[in-house]
Structure 1
Amino acid sequence: MELIDDLQKLGVSNHIGLPQLVVVGDQSTGKSSVLQAVTEIPFTIDDKMCTKFATEIVLQRTSPNKGTTVKFEIIPADNESPDRQRALSAWSPAGFDGNAELNKSTMESVFMQAETMIFSDTFRKSPRKQSTSRLSSSTLRITRTGPNETNFAIVDIPGLIRGDDSHVEYRTAKQLVQKYLDNPRSIIVLVIDVIDTERQEIFQLLKTLPDQETRVIGVINKCDTKQKKSHDWVFDLIRNDPLQSKHYLKEGWFGLRNRRASELDVSNDERDKLEKSFFSGHDWKSLDANKLGRHHLKQALLQMRNRHLKQSIPAMLCDIQDKLDECIQEIDRLGEPRTDNQAQFTLVNKIAARYSAMAEGALNGHYEVLSDEKLFARKLIRDDLESFQESMAVGGLNVPFGTGNLDAEIFVRHQPSEWTQAIRASPTYAWISSAIKNYRAKEDIGEVNPEVKDQLWRQQTSNWEQIASQAFNKVEATIEEINMAFFQEACPDELLRSRLLIWLQDEFRRASADARSEMDRLLENEHQGHLFTLQPAKRQKQQLLHDQRIQACAKAFIANNQKNAGPLGAKELTNVNPLNTDEVINSYIYKHAELVGILNTHDSLAAYYDVALYRFIDNFALQVVERHLLGPRGPLRLFNPQYVTEKLYGDKNAEKLSKLANEDPATAQARAKFEAQRTSLEEGKIRVQNFKVL
């Protein structure tokens, strides 16, 4: 659904038919009530406000932490003038809060405002109102998003009226319906009431539809107005016997009970109860219950839509490509305005020179050549790297390392014989103790398997990959934004700028891929490599952790001894100086082999972490960002006069240069139409291709 919505916004629907659910039928058959039944949006019923222009309802599911929002917008018809299209696109209903709950009065107000906006210009220009159609090809789109929505979209178009081609509204309504019927990807939701089928105009149009059996799903509305023992054709339609039914549909017919005028304000739950009670009557027992009621109808519409979407995507790509080929042929037919290769080369080289001057200034901190702080590349990238450093410092550790004071609190509360058990149970050391026990091998008693530290290190740095990947994406996004801004300034010509970016995108992707591979290698080296460093700070930090633990314990025992006889006994510590106290504590701790193994492993990891953390941060900045993303082949340094000369200069590159930089001023107006179509189709093709890959 997001793919189809994107293609609609890109204007691809102007060139090929897109899959969509479309409600068709005669006027007064209750199409609005069917729409309300399947969307639970309180459309105005018993008036003609909904039938004057097409209404598209889009329901989109969001994450659970987001609230429900509603958006109204007008999609201008193709035949509107550019000024009218801009005015209609800018419209939004007055007095409506997007977070407010929809109700009948709100919907009436919105539809009245939309009608005024859509028809105001028409009636202002036409004093003879009776000769002007009261139908429009513009569309009111209602988008409701929320955590409880089902991804769903459906279009309601004005109903057919009885008459002939001499009536303006008859022609307009017929053309609107025919437009959607002619789209082979439209799923037609045919709505009729219990009036005889031969009197309903829509069946006359459906006769010319070659695939109506597979593309149409039928809805018989107002079943509650069916007269008892009459209208047996209603039952025959719902039974949908392919051998007997005159209007057999592969997707079947569904019966609905319409809301009565007295029931317009009842809740949806109450409506469901009334409908269920009605269809449980004796007359309806002979029918398949799955063909009765709004919930069965909506379920069938969703299943039909899903099948239709999946089946349509491959053919859509072919159609887009065919239209794109036709568009390119038209552009080529108009001729190339810059047939002189020298002129083309001069233009591209000038753009490259301007771009590279801005890029070098931005990367070297010479911001005086730039027009906006958003282009200060070095500053913005430094901000990203500092943010990465902070994220690593805060979230890089899986389990926080202990401190001397925490150790002292544990030791002072226990007897020396209990220290090993107490440390083993501490959250700070439990993971280390468990790993030492699980990886016992050939080492002597009191020693630790060297593999333990490697395993513990991988646990401690398990967050690095996610943090680094997020930082990589942020830096890459910053570079991409700056790159696009530079191109916009250096090349105001939108078409040429798009071609240049397409021409360069493979190099950009290669630089990105190389940078990510470099980051992956760094992570692998840290996770899988041996814990080795020549940095003296590691040994110093490990000794410092040891000393801090002993000093903190000595201080804690002395303080405790002044109040109570501590675990070591008052006599032992009363007449000793601090140095001797340290020695006593040290001797008590380090005569427990298992305890020593846990503490030494902890200190080694903690000391190594400080070295490895900033080594990885620096390597990320230098080897990933500086070498690849900001290097000579990176996005901000690649496009320069030297590169243009290498790739585009000379006879061998003439054709490539011509396709890249040509333009015909004499046919610019005609070309603009095809270029816009080309951009729409190319972007649409990319969206469909990406969807196919995913």
Structure 2
Amino acid sequence: MTASHTVDRLASPVLLRKIDELREKNISQHVPLPQLVVVGDQSSGKSSLLETLTGIPFERDVELCTRYATQITSRRDPESRVTVTIIPGPDASDEHKKRLSNFSVESLANEDFRGQLAKILTQTAKVNIAMGIRTETTGSGGKIFSKDVLKIEKCGPDEDYLTVIDVPGIFRNINEGVTTTADIELVRAMVEKYIKDSRAIILAVLSSNVHVDNQEILTLASRYDPTGERTLGVLTKPDLVKESSEKKRVCDLVLGKKRPLTLGYYVVRNRGADQAADDRTIDESIFDEEPWTGLPKERVGAKALRVALCELLDRLARREFPLIRKQFKADLNKTQEQLGHLDIVKNALNGSYSDEKVFKLSGMRLVTHIVNLSDLFHDGFAQYSHLHKFQDAGSTTTPSTSTDSCGDAETENMNEVCERAVRGLLYSINLDLFPELDGLLNIEGEATAPDEDTMGWINEMYMESRNMDLGTFGGNVFSMAFKKQSTRWEEMTRSYLSKVILVVHNFIVGTLGMVCPDVRVGKMIWSNINDTLLVRYKAAMEQAMLLVRVEREKRPYTLNKEFSERLQLAQEARTAALIKAAGCTKNASPYDKSITVTPNVIKAASANQSNVERVNQEIHDKLRAYYDLALCRFVDSVFQQAVDYSLLMGPDTPLAVFDQDWVINLEAGPLEDIAGESKVSKSRRAILARKIKDLTEAMDILK
């Protein structure tokens, strides 16, 4: 079986292409990807080796230093072409990405791309300019090295799938006017960045005529691959080894007798430096001589190395692909969880409790606690806010157990569950830890049942306030009745707001502790926001008390047409009850449920009431009709204005305390510390959001 057929059988173009796509999207900054990284000393013959493997000409001038990494990809395709683009670095700005997107050299025909590409890759050409690298024309402006990656993709019907990453060659001595001491460390750092990834195969290019112990790249590779499991040695320039002992030393490396590597060594002769540019032949006749003939054929020559690299990349991709998919998924979940930690307030208000580590803690499920408190406030207000019980519709004596309320109440069982949850929450909050709230809150107080003697109270109030109008009562009497009946509104509302404020305050304290683990900075932030929080709590409480005053102290009035309907129904029911009490005749037929009312019965019903009784009942019915509507309006207003707008969702809520005005008013010292912390959080949020975007795109590619 030929080498070409072996590659065809083993290669996985679709799989390898997916990995290339991930690399080109800079996904490798999050999860290591399988890749072949070519590294070596500057004079090791690395550029010649790359040209031998890929057919792409690279600059061989030892005085020049490549200032970026290059990704070379060979791909089988019916159309022959060479495409040159630039992959932006992982931290590239949007502006830089846009500039690089305009750089593209496409459809270089195979017959002439070598000459054109050589011009593109020269040190003063447009690749360096596009990357913003310092050139002779830019003077001292620009970067020395770039994190951008030059991508060269060569396609054709005879190409096998292979991707290698070339990084600048390591050097020890500076070239005056070309390289500096700082360049030495920059190149080393760039090389280390690529070879430290756990899924990177290190192609260590070693000059055969220099002892391996004197070649820094193998020492550097062993630092990140101490067992040698992912390092492959490529010995170049065997034609420069003249002494027999030195040839034996090279052969011993290939045979695994010296400094063994799991992936072993290969010996390759590249195209001669003095060959013409259009002469691509490689003279490998040296391997027909001793001692090279004693080496395994699969370890000798450029063709054998290329086959081995294709097989190695294919094997690596097949082995690592399922693990990469699993790692991406786990990393995505973890990153989303971390971002959720920075969105505690938003998630707490939306009821998004997916982050169990945060929202399993007592008091952190903010909106749920507020809803529970508000439901209990609503139901408690309907049952206990009136000082005296109202009569059932149509009754002249029996008081009702509660007012009509403004909607269907929760079932008794649900009320008990809700009340237990609220009591448990409030019990878990230690008020002693919040001395700043002293004097603001009034949580204590048990609801008491309304007084039974409703009509007696109304009669007493009317008798003390009646005037000389015949059979009527003035507006002052009705106002007094409503104000008296709503006496408990202020106390119950203050208790409700106090509980909500306490829950919000407890949540803010808990959230600050999570997002600001630095105790010193946390205390400093707290000392700066504490007064603002209290002002906003008091504003919410005052808004609630304003609503109480508006309802209780103004003249009772409503535009709601339901008031007339309720009053009419109550009066009709009361009249019917009086007629029934006065006596009426049932029809004889058992199938006819109607009754007969005579004028005498109606007269008798009217005669049974005094003017005072009739006025008292009229006061009662009007008071009840108005009270029920006012209660519904009031409860909704307190929740909408004092709780939802003033404490939760409005622009000046305690939860929005870190606004622009607050920062502007800080003194220089606190501002520096807090702004630093805020900047870190903001940057962290942006990084996590970008990482989630990258990982999500990666998961789409890996499908």
Larger Rg: 2
TM range (shorter): 0.3 to 0.5
**Structure number with higher helix proportion:** 1
Q: TM-score, normalised by structure 1?
A: 0.47
Higher relative contact order (CA 8 A, sep 6+): 1
